[in-house]
A = this chain, B = another copy of it.
Amino acid sequence: MHAVGVDIGGTKIAGALVADDGSIVVDDRRPTPAGDPHEIVEIVVEMVRSLSAGRDVVAAGVAAAGFIDSQQSTVYYAPNINWRNEPFRDRLRERLGMDVTIDNDANAAGWAEFRFGAARDVRDMTMLTIGTGVGGAIVTGDRLLRGGFGTAGELGHLRVVPDGLPCGCGARGCIEQYGSGRALLRMANEIADAGGIGLALADAREQHGRLDGGILAELISGHDPGALHALAQLGRWLGQACASLSAVLDPAMFVFGGGVSVAGDLLLDPVREAYLAHLPARGYHPEPVFVTAQLVNDAGVVGAADLARIHAANLDG
């Protein structure tokens, strides 16, 4: 049975009709309108209708950054689209006449990796999405860990430094400030400022006015020592965070997704090294593997569709 998945991002809304093996039948993409939640509802309704026209579609799943309640129905807070306490599911259900679920975007992406991607052969995985920020998703015993209020898996806000760098969440020392794409840029700028191995970074910064993710990605793929140094620094923080996450969650696999994860082993090698150096009771229990995500661009829509299909099947069953 087909389901529609929609991923509401800060700049674009992606949608797809997804088969039950996770493959995308047809997709769509529109710019995210600023501000008005009603306008977003209209676009999502239109997108689901056009993607499901003439097909047998059981449900629609919508993913968005933010806090979603554990009934997958209300958006407590979605920073990108400035929503507070929106009863999003009911609005969509009324308009669409099919079962609708909403989920956190990192949870949807993690679920897709668990079902159809890098983690399809394990039952317990922890995913870290290294984009501008750090997102997370946890699957344990074949189930998505949602938590008591639906906000579990906010792994970017694990604290790694007491009284550390201030975080956008209002707390301090969150791994998001030491392990995100934004942190990588800060580290690269610091290395550029210091000269030495940072010379190529300093040159690129002067040439382009500032460093950005694209410039860094290019320097990393060219194995520039300064850029690799920044990436290794990032990886060591993430590996230390994973050591704590293992004590709590004991996943069989850590999956790294998001833009920074395309660096592959250049990121994962320092992650693994720092992980082992900081792992509690190392040698006294089995150790997880570290891999990169496989469904990079489509994970959000594929996961949202699959979660919606499962929800609808449970309603029927």
Show the binding face of A for B, using Cβ within 8 Å. 67, 76-77, 122-125, 136, 138, 140-141, 143, 145-162, 167, 169-172, 174, 240, 243-245, 247-253, 278-282, 284-286, 288
Contact = CB atoms under 8 A, between A and B. Distances in A.
A145 B146 CA distance: 13
A148 B122 contact: yes
Contact of A284 (B76, B123, B251): B76
A244 B145 contact: no
A20 to B, nearest CB: 23
A296 B172 CA distance: 35
Nearest to A167: B280
Which of A161, A252, A281 neighbours the largest number of chain B CB atoms within 10 Å of its CB? A281
Contact of A250 (B148, B248, B285): B148
A301 to B, nearest CB: 24
Number of copies: 2
B243 A281 contact: no
B250 A150 contact: yes
Contacts of A148: 122-125, 250-253, 286, 288
B162 A249 contact: no
B243 A77 contact: no
A248 B123 CA distance: 18
A159 B240 contact: yes
A285 B167 contact: no
A278 B138 contact: no
Contacts of A155: 247-248
B250 A170 contact: no
Chain A to chain B: the 8 pairs with minimum beta-carbon distance, closest first:
A147-B250, A148-B252, A124-B148, A157-B280, A152-B250, A169-B280, A157-B247, A77-B284
Given A124-B148, A158-B244, 12 more contacts: A67-B284, A124-B147, A146-B250, A148-B250, A148-B286, A149-B250, A154-B247, A154-B280, A155-B248, A159-B244, A161-B162, A171-B279
Nearest to A152: B250
A285 B150 CA distance: 9
Contacts of A280: 154, 157, 167, 169-171, 174
Contacts of A147: 124, 140, 249-252
B250 A171 contact: no
A220 to B, nearest CB: 25
Nearest to A156: B247
Contact of A141 (B136, B143, B250): B143
Contacts of A174: 247, 280
* A141, A174, A240 interface centre (most CB from chain B within 10 Å): A141
Contacts of A248: 136, 138, 152-155, 158, 245, 248-249
Contacts of A158: 244, 247-248
A143 B143 CA distance: 10
